[in-house]
Amino acid sequence: MARQRLSDTDFRVDGKAKKKDDTVVKLGGTQLPLIGYIDALSKEESLYSLLFCASAVDGKLHADEIAEVNALAVRTTTLGKCSTKQLQKMQEAIEPQLDEHIKVLRLAEKASRAFRNNEKRAASAFMHTLDILFADRDLTEAEKYFIKRLAEFLKIPAKKASQYVDVLMTKNEH
Amino acid sequence: MNNSTPEDYSVLEQQLNRHRSSMPKETAFITILAGAMYADHRAHAAEMAELDALLNRVRMLQAMPAADRVARRDEVLPGVKDDKTRGDRVRIACASIVQAEKGGTGPNDPGMPNLAVSVFAHACDIIYDDLDVTELEKTFIREIAKHLSIPAVDAAKIVEIISKKNEY
């Protein structure tokens, strides 16, 4: 039996949207994966994308949230080496992909590919993302869902993910 | 005539230890974070910017107007920058955090669960940020874990996870 790939996952809960998509597939006559494997992101683009996804997952991205992402981004080893110009360029490419919940999840899945085969990198990316999510006063249902999916995308064992969530949540409690 | 020997003065110890210096929890929080930054006896401009960014993000300080936060930081920094006073300031800050976590006896001061662990994790995050962790910084972490009354096993777990986070 063929194993389902993460990229084949349809995140939509809206039945109408799924039905519409089925029609398109029928008309086209070709089964296309929801997310293509071309256009892979670099590690820098991937981490920056995850940070923006975390910030945008509960709705629109506000200016203060962008500032917060950037304040955290420049502290990371991966993004700390990027120039402001490089970060701006990446941000311009990322922002249009954040206007819908489904797009945010797709981008997170795509970005997680750069880390998922490296346990240490996956753990680091996951925790940087948690730092953004827990800095907010409230943790919404959409954010909780995002965290679970991200751990899955990054292939972090549930027990480890739970430990990371515990420490990062406690850190950001005050 | 005073016949007291230096050893005789040890009777003062118990009375002196009754004096408990303390500082407001917000000041204590900033003192420990700034202490972490100066733990290796130096702080670069980038680290100062980083401290400011962190102070803007930390939940406990978000209720304060930005100008008050800056004023509080400026009030704290001289005592933390100075190698002679840093240890004492951080120790008092840790004691104040432990006290704030416990809370008072009245209903208006119910305590703040996990405050000490939260401050400890923030301090570790500052120290492990550049992954170039010096012996002075390791000593600082051991000291604050002790003064914040964090069990060794919990402190070790936090250090391990925060260092993993900052690896990439």
Give the number of domains in chain B. Answer: 1
- Res. A105: pLDDT tops 90: yes
Would you call B168 and A78 a contact, using CB atoms and an 8 Å cutoff? Answer: yes
Residue B147 · residue B95 · CB < 8 Å: yes
Contact A48, A128 (CB under 8 A): no
ipTM: 0.82
DSSP code of residue A97: G
Domain assignment of residue B7, yes or no? no
Instruction: Count how many Cα atoms sit within 13 Å of the Cα of residue B76 in the half-sphere of its side chain.
Output: 30
- The reply to whether residue A170 touches residue B118, judged by beta carbons under 8 angstroms, is yes
How many Å separate Cα B59 from the centre of its chain?
Answer: 16
Task: Tell me the CATH number for domain A43-171.
Answer: 1.10.3680
B100 CB burial (10 A radius; 0-12, 13-18, 19+): buried
Distance of CA A8 to the CA centre of its chain: 16
Contact (CB, 8 A) for A125 and A47: yes
Contact A120 B168 (CB under 8 A): yes
Return the residue of B nearest to A169 by Cα. B118
Contact call for residues A114 and A42 (beta carbons, < 8 A): yes
Q: Is the pLDDT of residue A18 over 70?
A: no
Q: Quick one: CA torsion of A50, A56, A62, A67, rounded to 10 degrees?
A: -20
Query: Residue A9 and residue A153: Cα distance in Å, rounded?
Result: 11
What confidence score (pLDDT) does residue B168 get? 92
Confidence at residue A170, expressed as pLDDT on a 0 to 100 scale: 94
Is B133 part of a structural domain of the chain?
A: yes
The C-alpha atoms of residue A170 and residue B113 are separated, in whole angstroms, by: 10
Domain ranges of chain A: 43-171
Q: Is the pLDDT of residue A92 over 50?
A: yes
Q: Tell me, yes or no, whether B116 lies in a domain.
A: yes
CA angle A51, A55, A60 (to 5 degrees): 140
Q: Residue B140: give the domain boundaries.
A: 23-165
Residue B11 lies in a domain: no
Q: In a mutagenesis test of the B interface, which of A48, A84, A167 is the best target, namely the one with the most B β-carbons within 10 Å? A: A167
Question: In this structure, what token pair is assigned to residue A76?
Answer: 């990371």
Distance CA A86, CA A74 (A): 12
**Mean pLDDT over residues B36-60, rounded?**
81
Q: Tell me what pLDDT residue B116 has.
A: 97
Q: Has residue B59 got a pLDDT over 90?
A: no
pLDDT band for A67, please (50, 70, 90 cuts): confident
The answer to whether residue B17 is domain-embedded is no
CB nearest B131 (choices: A77, A173, A174): A77
Distance between start and end Cα atoms, chain B: 68
The 10 Å CB-count burial string (b at 16+, else e) for B80-92 is bbeeeebeebbbb
Distance CA A86, CA A98 (A): 19
CATH number at residue B96: 1.10.3680
By a Cβ cutoff of 8 Å, what residues of chain A touch chain B?
A: 43, 47, 68, 71-72, 75-78, 120-121, 123-125, 127-128, 131, 135, 137, 163-164, 167-168, 170-174
- B2 within some domain: no
What's chain B's Rg over C-alpha atoms?
18
Type of residue at A169? M
Please name the member of A120, A124, A174 whose beta carbon is closest to the beta carbon of B112.
Answer: A174
Is B71 within the bounds of a domain? yes
Instruction: Determine phi and psi for A9, rounding to 5 degrees.
Output: -65, 130
Structural domain contains residue B102: yes
- In tens, the pLDDT along B102-123 reads 987 667 778 899 999 999 999 9
> CA torsion angle for B162, B70, B32, B54 (degrees, to 10)?
0
